[in-house]
């Protein structure tokens, strides 16, 4: 983990984003795995390990989508609830043996100090208000609770950073368009990836929201990063 210390993120229109995820829901997991060459499974495991969940603890999985990440977290023995604002994503796999709730991460239907841990993977860059989301997560976290967010980030090696930018901008939308169901949606995801702040800038925003011991860990050479903070 690299210790931290603000960043501006573009505002997103919630209804449009939810509708976009509704459209891609049927093929989302398959397209996701293809786009990242199967690394998504490794990243889900890394998030679970970083959270160090214990049996009996309560964990909230934001942007849970079809629930595949919630299932991974539940392997820890903790009580895990998945939340997503796309009803289409939640309905895509109703056979998941985990509780899934349709709700907005900016207005969570849970009391203050409810969860020992809150996490989310590749969702927070889609929220309409990043600062408000971080504040809402802090509200539902119990004192001493931890947050781990896995999100796209900035490759640390300059040649890789340049190649990664070309891949995300030009190659990824074409690949996703072939295996997914909505090329326009994956073009948006590509654009939002390139717009997202660097590791340090995102960490600064987390610090500003009131979290302590903020740090991050790079995955995939920095193309993905896990950010951690405590209440």
- What are the tens digits of pLDDT across the range 49-68? 999 999 999 999 999 999 99
**Angle of helix 183-195 versus helix 14-24 axis, rounded to 10:** 130
Give the CA dihedral 226, 146, 231, 11, nearest 10 degrees: 40
CATH number for the domain that contains residue 186: 3.40.50.150
Residue 37, pLDDT score: 86
Q: Which of 24, 27, 14, 192 is nearest to 103 (CA)?
A: 14
Residue 53, pLDDT score: 98
Paired with 226 in beta bridges are: 150, 217
Domain hosting residue 188, numbered range: 2-230
| pLDDT tens figures, 181-226 | 677 777 888 889 999 999 999 999 999 999 999 999 999 999 999 9
CA distance 29 to 67: 10
**Which of 3-7, 120-124, 219-223 is predicted with the least confidence, judged by mean pLDDT?**
3-7
pTM above 0.85, yes or no: yes
HSE of 100, CA atoms in CB hemisphere, 13 A:
24
Q: Would the pLDDT of 11 be above 80?
A: no
Q: How many residues comprise the chain?
A: 231
| pLDDT tens figures, 82-118 | 999 999 999 987 778 899 999 999 999 999 999 999 9
Query: Taking the mean position of all CA atoms in its chain, how far away is CA 103?
Result: 15
Question: Residue 11, exposed/middle/buried by CB under 10 A (0-12, 13-18, 19+)?
Answer: exposed
Average pLDDT over residues 175-186: 69
- Work out how many domains the chain is built from and give that number: 1
Residue 77, pLDDT score: 97
What token pair was written down for 32? 């996701």
List the beta strands (DSSP E) in the chain: 2-3, 58-62, 79-84, 100-102, 115-121, 141-152, 212-219, 224-230
Q: What is the mean pLDDT of the chain?
A: 90
Q: Is 177 left (phi over 0), alpha (psi -120 to 50) or beta?
A: alpha
Residue 180, pLDDT score: 59
């Amino acid at each position: 983990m690299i210790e931290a210390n603000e960043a501006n993120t573009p505002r997103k229109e919630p209804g449009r984003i939810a509708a976009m995820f509704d459209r891609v829901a049927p093929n989302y997991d398959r397209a996701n795995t293809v786009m990242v060459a199967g690394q998504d499974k490794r990243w889900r495991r890394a998030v679970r390990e970083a959270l160090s969940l214990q049996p009996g603890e309560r964990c909230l999985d934001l942007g849970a989508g079809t629930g595949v990440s919630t299932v991974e977290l539940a392997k820890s023995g903790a009580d895990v609830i998945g939340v997503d604002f796309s009803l289409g994503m939640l309905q895509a796999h109703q056979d998941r043996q985990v509780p899934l709730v349709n709700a907005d991460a900016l207005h969570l239907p849970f009391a203050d100090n409810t969860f020992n841990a809150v996490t989310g993977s590749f969702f927070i860059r889609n929220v309409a208000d990043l600062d408000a989301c971080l504040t809402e997560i802090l509200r539902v976290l119990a004192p001493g609770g931890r947050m781990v967010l896995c999100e796209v980030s900035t490759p640390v090696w300059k040649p890789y950073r340049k190649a990664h930018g070309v891949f995300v901008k030009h190659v990824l939308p074409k690949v996703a368009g072939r295996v997914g169901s909505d090329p326009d949606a994956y073009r948006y995801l590509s654009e939002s990836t390139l717009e997202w702040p660097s590791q340090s800038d995102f960490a600064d925003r987390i610090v500003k929201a009131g979290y302590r011991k903020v740090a991050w860990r790079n995955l995939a050479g920095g193309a993905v990063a896990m950010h951690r903070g405590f209440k």
